[in-house]
Amino acid sequence: MIQQLLYQDTTLDASVEPNGNGAEVSIGDRKYIVKPLSSGKYTVELNGVRHTVCCMVRDGKVFADVEGMLLELTIPSEDGDMAGGDAGMVGEKDKIYAPMPGKIVKLLVKEGDDIAEKQPLVIVEAMKMENQVNSAANGKVKKINFQNGDQVNTDTPIIELEIAEE
């Protein structure tokens, strides 16, 4: 059984051979011996070195803690689309939200503007850091719900877009 996982741009093909209550998992030319340790925890052994991994599968994603390093992997769904997608790509592309509650420092577009994918749309300040929010698609600015200096939370879109048909 082959299980495919995505980490950023890297695709990992894991070939799983069940063995008792564990499995042998081959990725590339490396063979990992995986055994359940306790609920949600596994030991993963490679070349005699054993690591403890805490991992959970949720909403098409794998959240894993490999000895202090937190990783997020995506499980591709069967029709080829990404089930969850990258963290930054999950939201509706036609609605632009603040990354965290904060203040709008500068709107970089106005209603009616044509915009391109990755074009900066707005700068939001939170925790004294400025965060630039970019468009995820080509299209047009349909509506802007806030002004410079407004406080925003994360549940009302700052900008609504009309996405161009591909």
User: Which 93-122 positions form the footprint of another protein (CB under 8 A)?
Assistant: 93, 95-102, 105, 117-118, 120
CB of 158 to another protein, least distance (A): 10
Instruction: State the Cα–Cα distance between residues 84 and 63, nearest whole angstrom.
Output: 12
One character per residue 59-98, x = contact with another protein (rule: CB under 8 A) = ---xxxxxxxxxx-x-x-----------xxxxxxx-xxxx
Burial per residue of 56-73, b for 16 or more beta-carbon CB atoms within 10 angstroms, e otherwise: eeeeebbebeeeeeeeeb
User: Please, which of residues 16-35 interact with another protein by CB under 8 A?
Assistant: 16, 18, 22-23, 25, 27-28, 30, 32, 34
Instruction: State the Cα–Cα distance between residues 15 and 105, nearest whole angstrom.
Output: 49
CB of 53 to another protein, least distance (A): 4
Tokens of 157: 């879109």
- In this structure, which long-range contacts are made by residues 62-70, counting pairs with CB atoms below 8 Å and at least 24 apart in sequence? 62/5
Interface size with another protein, residues (CB under 8 A): 77
Backbone φ, ψ for residue 89 (5° rounding)? -115, 5
Member of 104, 109, 115, 136 binding another protein (CB under 8 A): 136
Which among 164, 123, 118 has a CA at the least distance from the CA of 142?
A: 164
Task: Please say which residue, 51 or 112, places its beta carbon nearer to another protein.
Answer: 51
CB of 139 to another protein, least distance (A): 12
Task: Please say which residue, 7 or 114, places its beta carbon nearer to another protein.
Answer: 7
CB of 110 to another protein, least distance (A): 19
